Amino acid sequence: MSVLTIKNCLDPVLRKKCDLIQDINENLVTLSEDMIETMYAATGVGLAANQVGIASRLIVVDLGFKEEKHEPLIIVNPVITASEEEQIGQEGCLSIPEVYADVKRFQQVEVKGVDLNGKDVRLEAEGFMARAFQHEMDHLEGKLFWDMLGKVKRDMLKRKFKKILKEMQE
């Protein structure tokens, strides 16, 4: 397994609508493993394939990381099939380091997709887990969390991000 480079939000791959995965092959298994490794290395709770430069519909999520128990979920071609109620909570993104904002999301979602064995998966998530799924699945549509905010707030966060990026490069 290897740690991949996480693309930041200025990379056009983060604006791509990702392709449906037709074939679950060895490359996809390796990519999934590397994405999990990358997510752990960055202490994130989720990662979408286009964040590591691959515009395919694959996400990994693991909320167990903070309790030091790894329970990674790998979902191929995920879709939200039902959603209920709303929540507002803080969100960040590994592609937009050190920038956080309150984002409105569904409180409960039902997610369907396929696992690495090609088997159908269906799961229900709520709270922070539901938030993580919605965030990662937005990536597959080329969306970033600040797209959910008003323009004034978004522009403010963009300026903050550019400042942080500049500091990181110095």
Q: Which residues form the catalytic set?
A: 136
- Give the nearest distance from C-beta 170 to Zn ion in angstroms: 24
Q: Which is nearer to Zn ion, 60 or 93 (CB)?
A: 93
- Give the nearest distance from C-beta 145 to Zn ion in angstroms: 6
Q: Which is nearer to Zn ion, 24 or 36 (CB)?
A: 36
Binding site residues, Zn ion, CB under 5 A: 93
- d(CA 8, CA 71) in angstroms, rounded, equals 25
- Give the nearest distance from C-beta 59 to Zn ion in angstroms: 10
Q: Which is nearer to Zn ion, 74 or 93 (CB)?
A: 93
- d(CA 118, CA 153) in angstroms, rounded, equals 41
**Could you say which DSSP state residue 114 is in?**
E
Question: What Cα–Cα distance (Å) separates residue 150 from each residue in 9, 83, 103, 153?
Answer: 18, 23, 11, 6
The neighbouring-strand residues paired with 74 are 60
Please provide the distance, in angstroms rounded to a whole number, between the alpha carbons at the two ends of the chain.
Answer: 30
